[in-house]
Structure 1
Amino acid sequence: MDGTTRHLAVIGIGSGDPDQLTLAAVKAMRTTDVFFILDKGREKASLVRLRHDMLDEHASGSHRIVEADDPWRDRAQDASSGYREAVHDWRRRRADLCEGLIRDELAPGQRGAFLVWGDPSLYDSTLAVLESIAARGNVTFTYEVIPGVSSVSTLAARHRIGLNRVGRPLHITPGRQLSETLGAIGNDDGDVVVMLDAHESFRHLSGEGTWIYWGAYLGTPDEILVSGPLGEVADEIRRARAEARATHGWIMDTYLLRPLAEVATP
């Protein structure tokens, strides 16, 4: 990299366990001059602290940390017809913020980085935001992507299962599209991983013939795991979600749905 080009790294840092940092992530952190951290508010302050802890352990002593408030997003629209418009508006405002940070806080010739939960390729907006900024042409930079351990991988590891069955596909969907996904693939055409399910979409399934592997705060000290026939454990999961949200003010969970007949039970 020459002395006139800004360079960014989008670093996947795993789903919460500091030990999930890959060697590639650590190497990228050690060559970074400026880390950009977007603060999501007091409720998720622990996530910011965890990033700082990772940097204290692995980053070089000469780095700077630049924090900024992540643009507010109307979550009430997540289940409405205006969902896509709301996401595009939020990403535009996030791009405005990040463009200013890159322009004003990262000098030509320096390396900057965004630390992304899980893996940057899976339900994260950072890459789309950087593409939008680059297309505007107001600030010039190059960037690379360092993959990370996703919550999906962590879920499977914690439950000691494979994500797919032999000869079957694996489907990954946000909770708001679960019913559409199940309707499209049928009852036995692969396993379904569900992410971003703020509205507990599993409640609307019959529960018969389905096993659920569920996890929240995966990779953190607050991790919660539940598995079993959906009809038997759905209420337990709902109670766990409600109690955890009341305690922490937020919740991140992921789950896998699998036909009961394909689950080897003790």
Structure 2
Amino acid sequence: MVEITLVGIGTGNPEHVTLEGRRAIAEAELILIPRKAAKDDLAHLRERIVADAGSRARIVHFDYPTRDQSLPYQQRVRAWHDEIAERWCEAIGDAPTVTLLVWGDPGLYDSTLRIAQRLPGARARVIPGITALQALTAAHAIPFNTVNGPVTVTTGRRLRDSGWPEGAETVVVMLDGECSFQALPGDLHIWWGAYLGMAEQIIDRGPLAEATYRIVSARAAARERHGWIMDTYLLRQPD
């Protein structure tokens, strides 16, 4: 049996890590850090957070597998998670505890908890972190919701497949690599941000008809410059 501690580390600013999170990192004995060829900055940032916490943990890196694009989406994701879990097992060995630093919050559009459930006898401990939703609304200094208004959180894939959610007033979109907002009505208002909380942070806002070209262009240029990008956006019906 292994105890897996998942520490939410926010969206890129090391100061987003809570005191509880820093203490968990400082007390960790084994920390797993993923490596992605196009996202080495994220591994370096995790290593910086570990060092800042004063941790003396043994750090083990593991490489993320690639997804089999020939499989249907749900099957592709399940197979990918299975492979990641196997790599975790190899990296953990017989260690009784392990800690992972999770981008954002482990409970919001992140699969780390689902992967942890694949390890036989594993117990998960979660330390929450700042989410992209919090970082986005803070960057724009806007409220997450209107007065007594609902908020729908969804993905770019679902937005492309189904369009604007029926009855929605405010929609937050995550995991959208294809700028799916381009197919939506231009009178919507958008608040967009990338590299939220980091020194590289870029944001834009405005009526969708006016902001679409700016955002698509800025996103492409930033991805070319850094080799990767993480962004999210909030859309709201006009008053």
TM-score above 0.5, yes or no: yes
- 1:21-100 equivalences in 2 (<5 Å): 21-41=17-37, 43-61=38-56, 63-74=57-68, 82-100=72-90
The TM-score with structure 1 as length reference comes to 0.85
User: What do the CA deviations read for 1:123-144 (whole angstroms, capped 9, x no partner)?
Assistant: 111100111223xxxxx44320
1:181, distance to aligned residue in structure 2 (A): 5.6
**CA RMSD, 1 decimal:** 1.7
Alignment correspondent of 2:16: 20
Q: 2:117 aligns with which of 131, 137, 140?
A: 131
Q: 2:95 aligns with which of 100, 107, 126?
A: 107
The TM-score with structure 2 as length reference comes to 0.94
The percentage of counterpart residues that share the same residue type is: 40
- 2:212 aligned with 1:221: no
Structure 1's 113 and 85: CA in aligned 2 closer, same or farther, altered over 3 A? Answer: same
Structure 1's 113 and 248: CA in aligned 2 closer, same or farther, altered over 3 A? Answer: same
Alignment correspondent of 1:172: 153
Q: Which whole-Å CA distance do the structure 2 matches of 1:153 and 1:32 have between them?
A: 27
Larger Rg: 1
Structure 1's 150 and 181: CA in aligned 2 closer, same or farther, altered over 3 A? Answer: farther
1:167, distance to aligned residue in structure 2 (A): 1.7
> Structure 1: 5+ residue runs without aligned partners?
135-139, 262-266
Q: Which whole-Å CA distance do the structure 2 matches of 1:165 and 1:145 have between them?
A: 30
Q: 2:184 aligns with which of 205, 227, 235?
A: 205
Contact residue 32 and residue 59 of structure 1 kept, 8 A? no
The residue type equivalent to 2:17 in the other structure is: L
Q: Which has the higher helix share?
A: 1
